Amino acid sequence: MGVLVCYCSLGGRIDHGHHDGIAKLALTEAVMFDRAVQRASQLTSESDTLTVVTADHSHVFTFGGNTPRGNPIFGLAPKKADDKMPFTSILYANGPGYMHVNGTRGNITSVDYLDEEYMQQAAVPLDSETHGGEDVAIYARGPMAHLFHGVKEQNYIAHVLAYASCLEPYTNCPPPQLLTCSAQRNTAQLLHLGAHISYSTAFGRVSWKPQQFAQNSMEEESPHFWNVKGRKALNTALNLKPNLHRAKNLVLLLGDGMGVSTVTATRILKGQMAGKPGEETVLAMETYPHLALSKTYNVDQQMPDSAGTATAYHCGVKANYGTVGLSAAARRYQCNTTFGNEVTSVLHRARMAGKSVGIVSTVRVQHASPAAAYAHSANRGWYSDSDLPDDAKQDGCRDIAYQLVHNTDINVILGGGRTYMLPRETPDPEYVTYTGDREDEANLITEWLKDKKNAKYVWNKADFDDVDEDDTDYLMGLFEPKDTRFELMRNTTTDPSLTEMVEKAIKILQKNLNGFYLFVEDEGRIDHGHHDGQAVLALTEAVEFDRAVEKAAELTSDLDTLSVVTADHSHVFTFGGYSVRGNPVLGLSRTIADDDKAFTTAMYANGPGFQIVNGSRPDVNATLSAHRDYLQQAAVPLNSETHGSEDVAIYAKGPMAHLFHGVQEQSYIAHVMAYAACLEPYTDCMLEPAPEPDHAMASLPSSLLLLPLSLLLSLLSLLSN
């Protein structure tokens, strides 16, 4: 049967609407484009038509602003900015919407911001808004659609299209009877834009120095280079086989605020730290073969927070903004709505099934993201009993720190948050100005250690390093009174890195023959860096997070461990500006703005970086932008930059990782993880344990080995020429 290929790309008028700074034009074009996609689907059959929907690039377009559920997409954020004027949830980093009047941001109170010609405000004045540098999605269905997986170079699209219909150079593609993989699985995954922005940075722990690299290598100028790269990627995809075994271990690694633009910028920065241009770098998380997109909204919020999202990916149930471990029937700040609305995390279910469980975080372990794994609270901010209002105490609600110790028997707890565990009169062991925060005089650290065998508590790196994993079944390490320090500012002699904490946790947890569940969060400090408007803090945290992902992969096996990397939400962080290959990721654009001043490629739609100096936008140079404390400019002044509302990526590998596909609700993550390990409510999953490594190759079907044979031969032939 022949294969008809329908390739649908982003409409040019979507692009033009963004360049004009008029989001309404761009988005209404995108709606019409989606109707065309639907019509193409109606007129073709998935049995013989490969349909691919993608984009060529993105734009420096953002939407966020703490908007409630159902807020008009072109409407206002619910709160005014720090200049006491309203702002729209949609903004651009640069473009014609830049508007300063008499030395202040333009007041849109009397402006019809719903008009089809309204230009959203921008941080930098340009007569044409620029493209963005982050990855874009590929959606595919039909014959061989499963070959679209993971993170790929953009030229890979053409290779799959040609292979699917046996066109040159794949005229010797295998006959249909050898194609054992499902060809009708809908997929959505991110794509590495090899033709877009690339940067270079030589980086140290406390300072970093931009460095310019060559724009491109000679080998990249040859079609041979890209064809070989495409064929190799295709061969990998053809060999990809779903792991249908039961997961013994579960690892969920969360990058707080790690949206797609953050991931792409992190990839570039990590490469530049190694002395490379950056774009061609592959993050550890990007080696995960299965990928999906996660819809992050809360039940009551268009722009989510870390509490409602944590409840979704931990417990499998979407929740309200600011609540942890509760269904959407609960109301924030109302303690009496807690009872009867509790939802259970996969971590708790894993412990009940006899697995060891752990939490590792770079923020306080009572933070919203880890809290949803063990606590049920109508307010994410009820860290200690001193944070509980009187009515909550009277109604019987417990603070999150108390629940950390008493709700679930957690084997490993590593992060910050000492102050919430100690009585108020108890001095902090490290800082003379700090004491505990508890009013009930409870020492929760002592309570946690009580009746536990082989349990240890540490608060500094020296004691942490001395912990013998073989002799330790329980470990609590709290290295700061509240959040740990940013990676860029971490004292390497007193505080362990995220990677070191992950390694220690896995070595302790993996002793359990029943397996383990580990939740890892660095998102807290990625998130905080973005909120502070300091991209260097966010991106260096993300680089360390990726190192932790790599370390977790080294210590576990894909045969029996389902590993998932994702984010809870994104930020209104962008990078664009038509920069050349080798431009520092946090450096300047090669063009000058319409006000005859320079601007950085990385920017925020809103945040503390909004500046007016002598009635106009301040100039910036390479020295200023390279400083660790530099705030990227923003279109709207806020003391804390906001989350973004767009989808985030899910990267997965290991048993049942192929179930992560397409576009899913964020709550889907918990369901896949529970199913993969046959935990409640999927105890009847009927999945068999993974075979021992020595027998793994014997279990490969012969059809899988035959599938890529002709492709491999053609690849070898090409390499020999």
Q: Is 110 exposed, middle or buried (0-12, 13-18, 19+ CB in 10 A)?
A: exposed
Cβ atoms of 86 and 76 within 8 Å: the answer is: yes
Architecture category of domain 249-572+644-676 in CATH: 3-Layer(aba) Sandwich (3.40)
Residue written as tokens 């012969």?
A: 702
568 annotated as a binding-site residue: yes
Q: How many residues does the chain have?
A: 721
| pLDDT at residue 197 greater than cutoff 70 | no
For the chain, which residues make up each domain, given as ranges?
4-60+132-239, 249-572+644-676
671 annotated as a binding-site residue: no
* pTM metric for this prediction: 0.92
Distance CA 352, CA 374 (A): 12
| pLDDT at residue 60 greater than cutoff 90 | yes
Tell me what pLDDT residue 199 has.
29
CA dist list (Å): 246 to 242, 493, 660: 12, 40, 15
**One-letter identity of residue 494:** T
| pLDDT at residue 201 greater than cutoff 50 | no
57 annotated as a binding-site residue: no
DSSP 195: T
Q: Which residues are catalytic?
A: 306
Tell me what pLDDT residue 711 has.
52
Tell me what pLDDT residue 522 has.
83
367 annotated as a binding-site residue: yes
569 annotated as a binding-site residue: yes
DSSP 612: -
Cβ atoms of 95 and 122 within 8 Å: the answer is: yes
Band (pLDDT 50/70/90 cuts) for residue 190 is very low
| pLDDT at residue 21 greater than cutoff 90 | yes
Residue written as tokens 């629940």?
A: 403
Band (pLDDT 50/70/90 cuts) for residue 694 is low
Task: Please tell me which residue, 8 or 637, carries the higher pLDDT value.
Answer: 637
**One-letter identity of residue 169:** P
Q: State residue 587 phi and psi, 5-degree precision.
A: -95, -160
Distance CA 232, CA 235 (A): 5
Tell me what pLDDT residue 523 has.
53
User: Which of these ranges, 313-317, 337-341, 583-587, has the smallest mean pLDDT?
Assistant: 583-587
And the tokens for 151? 């993170």
224 annotated as a binding-site residue: no
Percent of the chain with pLDDT over 70: 88
Band (pLDDT 50/70/90 cuts) for residue 344 is very high
Task: Please tell me which residue, 509 or 216, carries the higher pLDDT value.
Answer: 509
Tell me what pLDDT residue 28 has.
97
Tell me what pLDDT residue 8 has.
46
Instruction: Kindly state the average pLDDT of the residues 334-363.
Output: 98
CA dist list (Å): 498 to 58, 323, 486, 551, 572: 32, 26, 11, 10, 25
Band (pLDDT 50/70/90 cuts) for residue 186 is very low
